[in-house]
């Protein structure tokens, strides 16, 4: 990514800024997907093709940069374990409830 490379080449740099037209949804999604945060909208910031245009400003700070997400495969065992624990907790809760209620619980027929 260009932003990451910029921070690497210029270690003293603390902020990258980007601006795009409010209506340019694709550019906004690209910026957001790459870690840029929306700073705000400057209304009637540009005059383009005979009309005033609003502009959205984004920034990426050196402290905002995120580490790459781990591959999805790494999370699967953890998700399976959490599901198992949730089921186990529910089963233990029901058993405890039955023990507390004792004979007042009638089996379903």
Domain boundary assignment for the chain: 2-61, 72-104
pLDDT in tens, 34-76: 889 999 999 999 898 899 999 999 999 988 775 555 566 666 6
Whole-structure pTM value: 0.56
Buried b (16+ CB within 10 A) or exposed e, 7-42: beeeeeeeebebebeeeeeeebeebeebbbeeeeee
Question: Has domain 2-61 been given CATH number 2.40.110.10?
Answer: no
| CA-based R_g, the chain, Å | 27
């Amino acid at each position: 990514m260009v932003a990451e490379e910029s921070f690497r080449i210029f270690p003293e740099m603390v902020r990258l800024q980007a601006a795009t037209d409010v209506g340019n949804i694709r550019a906004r999604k690209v910026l957001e997907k790459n870690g840029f945060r929306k700073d705000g909208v400057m209304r009637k910031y540009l005059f383009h093709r005979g009309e005033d245009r609003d502009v959205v400003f984004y920034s990426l700070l050196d402290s905002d940069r995120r580490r790459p997400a781990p591959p999805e495969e790494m999370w699967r065992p953890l998700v399976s374990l959490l599901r198992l624990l949730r089921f186990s907790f529910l089963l233990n809760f029901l058993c405890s409830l039955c023990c507390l209620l004792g004979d007042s619980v009638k089996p379903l027929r």
